[in-house]
Amino acid sequence: MTETVCADTECSFSLTGVCARSYSDPEECPYRNGTGGQLNEKAGGSSAGRMVQSVGDGNVVTTIGEPVLSAPVVDPSLPRSGTLGSRDLDLLMRDRYVNLIGIVGLPDAGKTACIASLYLLLAHGMLDGFTYANSKTLIALDEISRGARRWNNGYPEQMTLHTELADDRQAGFLHLRLLREADSKKIDIVVPDLPGEWSRQLITHADSDRFSFLGSAEVLWVMVNGRDFYQSATRQAAIHDTTNLIERLSELLKNARPRLILVSTWRDISDFPRDAFDRIEAYAKPLGFDVELASIASFSENDAVRPGIGISELIVASLTAGSKRENPWPHSESLPNPSERLYLDFRRQA
């Protein structure tokens, strides 16, 4: 079966059977079979709908069904230094020693703001004791810090955007290699940038699958919004939420007990209240956590408080191993009988 199609784009012969050039017999129309044979036949079936328009000398100029324009040249794309997925993180950890810092906290606790502040301090050489050495996620870090450059006719209400992940089942990680000035040692840290809803889900539904990476974390930062602890109206609820989160973490981590630092933001408004910390500490103790406190101000509206205060100390605290373990090689003078064989005896003493 063939379908007659006219080369004149205005002609609707194939639909109406009427020649636009008013030829009673379409066969006479020059567009149908004139010198150039400009009317074409679209053959069905085996020729797969291809239609060829020819000119006088018979050369094929267009093949209908093929693209009208040539495909644009696509430049090869370069790997972008965006957030790392868990597979990239595995590769990185295989390559070198990486300190994974597990950051958890409810929405609005200031998790992203803290990372943005850390990055901006490094970007201006203003982080005490550390300088920037490298990052596999530099573009991602710059993107999250962009809000802190905005001038909304004054100090903006919100410095960083609410974190949303493209893949809601997998955490995105940010990497920083720091040079510690004290001993010129390079230290790799990796932090997750997670939406606070994940922590909320962890509390309400014990939804812990997405947090499986916390098993490899050396230190946990439980981020809390310091303003909630400062105001008495919200303090009780804030303590309640925080202790819930710590209890969920203790279940999630099974027997592992990484160090846990309670990171309170908004230090520019007030210091973290002592009694609130005591309650959290007492709650976490039986769960096996020795909670430490770090109070930071990622940004600051208060002229007396420098923005980024406490972040350098927080990094130092996170990198020092919390060694409260028994000394395996005690000094001989402290032992009752120095002539005994210390090595063999050690387990019995411990």
Beta bridge partners of 174: 191
Residue indicated by tokens 């000398």: 57
> Site size for other proteins, by CB under 8 A?
44
Cβ density class 199-229: b for 16+ within 10 Å, e for less: bbbbbeeeebebbebbebbbbbbbbbbbbbb
Binding-site string for other proteins from residue 28 to residue 67, where x marks contact by CB under 8 A and - marks none: ----------------------------------------
Subset of 165-224 contacting other proteins (CB under 8 A): 177, 179, 186
Binding-site string for other proteins from residue 81 to residue 120, where x marks contact by CB under 8 A and - marks none: x----------------------------------xx--x
**Closest by Cα among 47, 48, 30 to 39:** 30
φ, ψ dihedrals at 293, nearest 5°: -115, 135
Give yes or no for residue 73 binding other proteins (CB under 8 A). Answer: yes
How far is the C-alpha of 13 from the C-alpha of 19, rounded, in Å? 5
Least gap, CB of 177 to other proteins (angstroms): 6
Fill in the DSSP letter of residue 288: T
Give yes or no for residue 124 binding other proteins (CB under 8 A). Answer: yes
Binding-site string for other proteins from residue 255 to residue 294, where x marks contact by CB under 8 A and - marks none: ----------------------------------------
How far is the C-alpha of 191 from the C-alpha of 170, rounded, in Å? 14
How far is the C-alpha of 162 from the C-alpha of 331, rounded, in Å? 53
Which of 83, 137, 225, 298 is the binder for other proteins (CB under 8 A)? 298
Which of 20, 52, 92, 148 is the binder for other proteins (CB under 8 A)? 148
Least gap, CB of 216 to other proteins (angstroms): 24
C-alpha triplet 244, 249, 252: angle, nearest 5°: 130
**Residue ranges binding other proteins (CB under 8 A):** 73, 75-81, 116-117, 120-126, 131-135, 138-139, 142, 145-146, 148-151, 153-156, 159, 177, 179, 186, 298-300, 307-308
